[in-house]
Amino acid sequence: MSATLHLLAGALLPWPGWALLRLGAGARASRWMLLDAAPVLAGFAALLALTARPVLAGGLACGACVFLAVADRAKRAAIGEPLAFTDGGLLWQVAAHPRFYLPFVPKPVLLGGIAAGGAAFLAVLALEPAIPLGAGPRILLLGVAGALVALLLRPFLLLAGAMPARDPAMDAARFGPLATFALHARRAALERPARRVAHPPAPAVARPGALVPHLVLLQLESFCDPRRLGLARGLPCWDALGAEARSRGALAVPGFGANTMRTEFVVLTGMGDAALGLDRLNPYFRFARHPVGSLAWALSGTGHEAICLHPFDPRFFGRDRVLPALGFRRFLAAAEFADAPREAGLVTDAAVGARVAALLAGARGPMFLYAITVAAHGPWPGDDPADAWAGRMAATDAMLGALADAARAAPRPVVLAAFGDHRPALPAARGGTETDYLIWHGDAPGAGARRDLDAAGLHRAVRAAVLDAG
């Protein structure tokens, strides 16, 4: 094969993968296709310059597109959302914690894709000869790749006045998925500084003479009342606390089946979608890496020590960097639970509850304990995943009962607030995003008033419960 035909064969390889990615997104032919094709072309040019092997470069570019197409399809099927620009920050988690991601890709697709891709890569690597490519052409190819990357960093130059809708699915269909990544990333970066400045950290002031209570805020993994999903299992401890709650009800959360960090951030800060813009897709990716107003910052003004407990990898969602920016002074993560009991490899809710109770018992001043459970995370094993999930809810319920007992025994009053971060990614849970919440005062029971809230509303209600107590 001549060098020209060899080069042409490699140059054609990326585009079937790109077409597959666009097909999955429902992308239409338009004048913005150049922007959507730019990352593919940039990748091919850079790989060709580095390897001088056109088929290898084209195959790798095609493989990257196929990988994105499979991931996009799996995400749409599991939680009803396409890939977004913020998902780039989660790629390392797929490799580090595959149990949370790979089960949502059909095994034949996953195993077959890995086997076929690996075999093709090795075959091309072994059999394809390099084409004669001097220093000049290599520099030119790298220059083209660099120019395309520069264009992707300023994607609005190609829009000719057309503005994105800021909706990942709609914009992926209109502009193409890769173009949408570039457009959304740039728009979010332009707006982010002003959005942060609008919500600065600020300490709150307690009422004079008030004995400020502890705050125990429990973020419960995949939690909602099983009866909400038509399952017969009850939650006796949840029901008992709900009957004495100051407030309880449905909680509208910004996502289904995943994206814990969205609910987490809004509950901690009170900043909803309008305040976050495109950073709503994952506030922890970039937005929350700098201080913004939060419960922890507010309660620092009342002497509360803010501690987060999460018995998992502290780097997950970048919490090791985000939590200090949100005002938390201590983060008790996986290393602090090294000897804790586990179920299916995850630290049990009972162990998390026991650690919270121990901190309450040893507290010298007011504490804000934010506990994030993990044991109920999917996938749920067995022939009936919904029943397995409901069993995990029973374990969460028992933890709540134990913590209520610890709160009653604490020398300082305790406000206990609990909520589900999202519904489980189960067929029975589809049709809505609402989970459940309650706010309970250990020293002043309420009448179980029902009031439905969204995540920002829960932030305000919890803040008021602490600052207005005493």
Residues 337 and 384 in one domain: yes
Based on the fold, state whether residues 182 and 264 are members of the same structural domain.
Answer: no
Is 183 in the same domain as 285? Answer: no
Q: Are residues 189 and 288 in the same domain?
A: no
| Longest distance between any two alpha carbons in the chain, whole Å | 87
Give yes or no for residue 353 having a pLDDT over 90: yes
Mean pLDDT score, 402-412: 95
Q: Does residue 209 form part of some domain?
A: no
> Does the pLDDT value for residue 261 go beyond 80?
yes
Q: Is 330 helix (H, G, I), strand (E, B) or coil?
A: strand
| pLDDT greater than 90 at residue 114 | no
* Claim to verify: residue 284 and residue 178 sit in the same structural domain: no
Residue 425 Ramachandran class (φ > 0 left, ψ -120 to 50 alpha, else beta): beta
Residues 306 and 252 in one domain: yes
Q: How many domains in the chain? A: 2
Give, for 346, the enclosing helix (H) or strand (E).
strand 346-347
Pair 358, 432 in one domain = yes
How much is the average pLDDT of 430-444? Answer: 93
pLDDT at 105: 74
pTM above 0.85, yes or no: yes
Same domain assignment for residues 105 and 237: no
- Which has more confidence, 132 or 193? 193
> Does 361 lie in the same domain as 228?
yes
Task: Share the mean pLDDT of the chain.
Answer: 92
Residues 114 and 172 in one domain: yes
Of the residues 195, 229, 245, the one at which a domain ends = 195
**pLDDT of residue 294 exceeding 90:** yes
Residue 370 lies in a domain: yes
Question: What band does 228 get if pLDDT is binned at 50, 70 and 90?
Answer: confident
| pLDDT (average), residues 431-450 | 92
Taking each helix axis from N to C end, the angle separating 385-409 and 236-243, rounded to the nearest 10 degrees, works out to: 50
Q: Do the beta carbons of residue 441 and residue 467 sit within 8 Å? A: no
Q: Does 209 have pLDDT greater than 80?
A: no
What's the CA gap between 470 and 463, in Å, rounded?
13
- The reply to whether 134 falls in a domain is yes
Give yes or no for residue 106 having a pLDDT over 60. Answer: yes
If asked whether residues 179 and 312 sit together in one domain, one would say no
Q: Are 231 and 390 in contact (CB under 8 A)?
A: yes
Residue 320: CB atoms within 10 Å: 13
Lowest mean pLDDT among 119-133, 262-276, 371-385, 418-432: 119-133
Confidence bin at 268 (pLDDT 50/70/90): very high
What share of the chain in percent tops pLDDT 70?
Answer: 99
- 146, 165, 195 — which closes off a domain? 195
Predicted confidence band at 355 (pLDDT cuts at 50, 70, 90)?
Answer: very high
Which of 160, 195, 230 is the endpoint of a domain?
195
Helix axes 33-51, 54-79, angle to 10 degrees: 140
Asked if residue 305 and residue 384 are part of one domain, the reply reads: yes
Domain with 84, as residue range(s), is: 3-195
Confirm whether 200 is domain-assigned.
no
> CA-to-CA distance for 466 and 463, rounded, in angstroms?
5
